[in-house]
């Protein structure tokens, strides 16, 4: 129903989207809260061949700062002169908007209802699909 192939369950995706992110940009630490703040922070990704071939967006992914010592970046006990460190998730353009819409239909807490294990089940639960017409009342409301 979302024209997107998911290997994660809805619960796994929404749980990951609730996690805050931290990264370094222009030598300054930036923090992004989870949920709506994380989805709103999605930016177009147009770097190199990949960015030129696909319409992608990048969403910050958890705490990138934890990776500096693992890769020997910065200096002992700190980030030193490191100017940028980012860990992100690439998704097709529109992913963040779709997830924000689904979050708003579920509730402010973005909790996947118990017993819902697949994206098709979630779409039916939210009345996004009508088996006879291929869409439901919620999808019609969202388009208007």
pLDDT per position as a tens digit, 94-104: 999 999 998 88
**Per-residue buried b or exposed e for 22-56, using 16+ beta carbons within 10 Å of the residue's own CB:** bbbeeeeeeebebbeebbebbeebeeeeeeeeeeb
Using DSSP's 3-state secondary structure scheme, residue 54 falls into coil
20 has pLDDT over 90: yes
DSSP 1-49: --SS---S-HHHHHHHHTS-EEEEETTEEEEE-STHHHHHT-EEE--HH
**Per-residue buried b or exposed e for 116-135, using 16+ beta carbons within 10 Å of the residue's own CB:** beebeebbbbbebbeeeeeb
Q: Distance between CA 8 and CA 119 in Å, rounded?
A: 9
76 has pLDDT over 70: no
68 has pLDDT over 60: yes
Closest CA to 11 of 112, 122, 91: 112
Banded pLDDT at 4 (limits 50, 70, 90): low
pTM for the structure as a whole:
0.78
Which are the contacts of 14, defined by CB distance < 8 A and separation ≥ 6? 99, 102, 103, 106, 110, 111, 112
Q: Quick one: average pLDDT of 47-63?
A: 89
């Amino acid at each position: 129903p979302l024209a997107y192939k998911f290997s994660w369950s809805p619960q796994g995706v929404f749980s990951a989207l609730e996690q805050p992110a931290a990264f370094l940009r222009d030598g300054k630490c930036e923090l992004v809260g989870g949920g709506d703040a994380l989805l709103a922070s999605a930016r177009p990704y147009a770097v190199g061949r990949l960015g030129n071939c696909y319409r992608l967006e990048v969403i910050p992914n958890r705490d990138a700062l934890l990776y500096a010592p693992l890769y020997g970046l910065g200096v002992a006990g700190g980030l030193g002169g490191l100017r940028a460190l980012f860990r992100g998730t690439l998704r097709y353009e529109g992913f963040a908007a779709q997830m924000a819409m689904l979050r708003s239909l579920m509730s402010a807490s973005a909790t996947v209802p118990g017993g819902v294990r697949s994206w098709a089940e979630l779409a039916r639960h939210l009345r996004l699909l009508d088996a006879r017409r291929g869409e439901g009342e919620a999808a019609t409301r969202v388009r208007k």
